[in-house]
Amino acid sequence: MPAAVPTDARPGSVVEDPALLSLRDRAVAKLAATLADEWKSATRDLSRLELVSASADLTVKVIAAKAQSVHRFAPDGSEDVLIYVADAPDGARAIENIVAVALHEIGHTWCCRGPGTTDGHWSEQQVSPGLLGVDRFGLMNHPVNCLVVPTGFLSCPNKFSDRELRTMGFDQIPAAVPDPCVLQRDRILGQLDGLRTQVADLRSGIDSANARLEQIGAQVRAIEAQYPSKVLPPDVYARYTSLVNSYNALLRDTQSRTDTYNGMRDRYNALVVQRNALPC
């Protein structure tokens, strides 16, 4: 489908905000550079979007103002997409969100009308087989929900769901290719869940051992206080020696557990760093 190269042209009734001009220009550059590839990926290589300078089926306009982006259908059959770089609830959009909004609005060329839709969007979100993370519901929901990952990066949906591709007329839909970032994230989260349980169990065992060490130590100190000369009757000496041996054995075991615990904590923290560095 030919689409006009995204421009900063705006409807005459809209006054652009000077504070948003830089974001608009960056958004235009980003869309011009990536929109065709993003569309190809979003449609699982079933559709192509060609950016042209004139005679387009669809014109995309990026506007330095705050409003809800829209796909417009004119009586003469022409279409255009108005992408506002800011919206009322959240203010200025991130570049990644603007790309997602562009995919969403272009998707309105085919979707979504008829049963199960409301105002051009799905009435209910539906998980699409094979899509993971923020993509799992597809692109044609309102609003386009993005997630802020721990690093502050905004992760937005950029894949059409099976039912959305069917509305575009495709009946042989290839399986969705899992997002490697999401797969890695889920693998790390699984490891973190396992380590969290092990660390908690070890901590509980160490705390119990330390409490037992304190009990044994108190008994040893009581005997030592009772016999400051350190001359103990045979039966007391036998009990004292047994307590000291028990204390030392438990101390060695507790120190070993503590080393294991610290190693697991280090591994856990390293995995948290890896997870937080992922852009998903």
Q: What is the pLDDT along the chain (280 residues), one digit of tens a residue?
A: 555 545 555 555 678 999 999 999 999 999 999 999 999 999 999 999 988 877 668 889 999 999 989 999 888 888 899 999 998 666 778 888 899 899 999 999 999 888 999 988 999 999 999 898 889 999 998 877 778 777 666 778 899 999 999 999 999 999 998 888 888 999 999 999 999 999 999 999 999 999 999 999 999 999 999 999 889 999 999 999 999 999 999 999 999 999 999 999 999 999 999 998 887 7
CATH number of the domain bearing residue 226: 1.10.287
Same domain, 193 and 165: no
Contact 187, 280 (CB under 8 A): no
**3-state class (DSSP) for residue 60:** strand
Q: Which of 94, 13, 118, 99 is nearest to 60 (CA)?
A: 99
The tokens for 213 are: 């060490």
Contact 59, 81 (CB under 8 A): yes
Q: CB 136: neighbour CB atoms within 10 A?
A: 19
Please tell me the total count of domains within the chain. 2
Q: Which distant-in-sequence residues (6+ apart) come within 8 Å of 276 by Cβ?
A: 149, 150, 151
Last residue of a domain, one of 147, 163, 178: 178
Same domain, 170 and 189: no
Q: Which domain holds residue 197?
A: 181-277
The tokens for 48 are: 């192509």
CATH number of the domain bearing residue 88: 3.40.390
Same domain, 233 and 171: no
Length of the chain: 280
Same domain, 42 and 157: yes
Same domain, 189 and 172: no
Tens digits of residue pLDDT in 158-190? 999 999 999 999 999 999 988 888 889 999 999
